[in-house]
Amino acid sequence: MNIIVLGVIAIIAYIFQILLGMKQIKNFNTVYIRMKRKGKVAIGRRPGKIASGTILLLGVSDEGVIQEAEMMQGISVVARFKARPQFVGIDIHQLMESTILAKENKLTRQAAENAQKVYLAVEKGNYQETKPVSPLMNLGTQLSLMKHSIQTKFTKGRV
């Protein structure tokens, strides 16, 4: 009987997480579309598997000056975008040299560096987006590498 209760609780928690995740994606889309209507948007990511993740959206003018900035940072699905006015007015080409960025935490600096890198690559026409590997595919790759590693250890022992 207790296992059924635990199973029901796990299913409810999973559904709750899915709903909050969908709300977070809707928040991202709302902010992105609002910025995109005004001009170019540079997106900087610093994904977090266990630690906090960061997404930085920079609304950039045709001249390369940041007009609007919003950032989402956190480890949970309740994280939302917050305005970052300290980035407004900075030329994205000199973003990493900015004194404002030196005052930010490491995750924000990494996301800003990613945004600048992707923006410059798109500006030059050298950017090709790579599709992320699904967690299931990643698990398969890891298991395959582990199997190969074990086989290599056993064959070295026989020779």
Residue 159 lies in a domain: no
User: How many domains is the chain partitioned into structurally?
Assistant: 1
Residue 81 lies in a domain: yes
Residue 23 lies in a domain: yes
Residue 20 lies in a domain: yes
Q: How confident is the model at residue 103 (pLDDT cuts 50, 70, 90)?
A: confident
pLDDT at 138 > cutoff 70: no
- Which pLDDT tens digit goes with each residue over 50-98? 777 889 999 999 899 999 999 998 877 778 899 999 999 999 998 888 8
Q: What is the pLDDT of residue 134?
A: 60
Residue 105 lies in a domain: yes
- Which pLDDT tens digit goes with each residue over 33-49? 999 999 999 999 888 76
Q: What is the pLDDT of residue 101?
A: 82
Q: What is the pLDDT of residue 148?
A: 75
What is the 3 state secondary structure string of the chain? Answer: CHHHHHHHHHHHHHHHHHHHHHHHHHHHHHHHHHHHHHCEEEEEEECCCCCCEEEEEEEECCCCEEEEEEEEEECCCCCCCEECHHHCCCEHHHHHHCHHHHCCCHHHHHHHHHHHHHHHHHHHCCCCCCCCCCHHHHHHHHHHHHHHHHHHHHHHHHC
Q: What is the pLDDT of residue 12?
A: 94
Residue 63: which CATH number?
3.90.1010
The residues near 32 (Cβ < 8 Å, ≥ 6 apart) are 41, 43, 57
The two three-digit tokens of residue 76, written as one number? 């949970």
Rounded CA Rg of the chain: 21
Give the best-scoring range by mean pLDDT among 19-33, 121-135, 137-151.
Answer: 19-33
**Mean pLDDT to the nearest integer, 15-43:** 90
Residue 71 lies in a domain: yes
Q: What is the pLDDT of residue 33?
A: 92
The two three-digit tokens of residue 56, written as one number? 């930085």
Residue 121 lies in a domain: yes
Q: What is the pLDDT of residue 35?
A: 93
Q: What is the pLDDT of residue 1?
A: 62
Residue 142 lies in a domain: no
The single-letter code of the amino acid at 95 is L
The single-letter code of the amino acid at 51 is A
19 lies in which domain range?
2-127
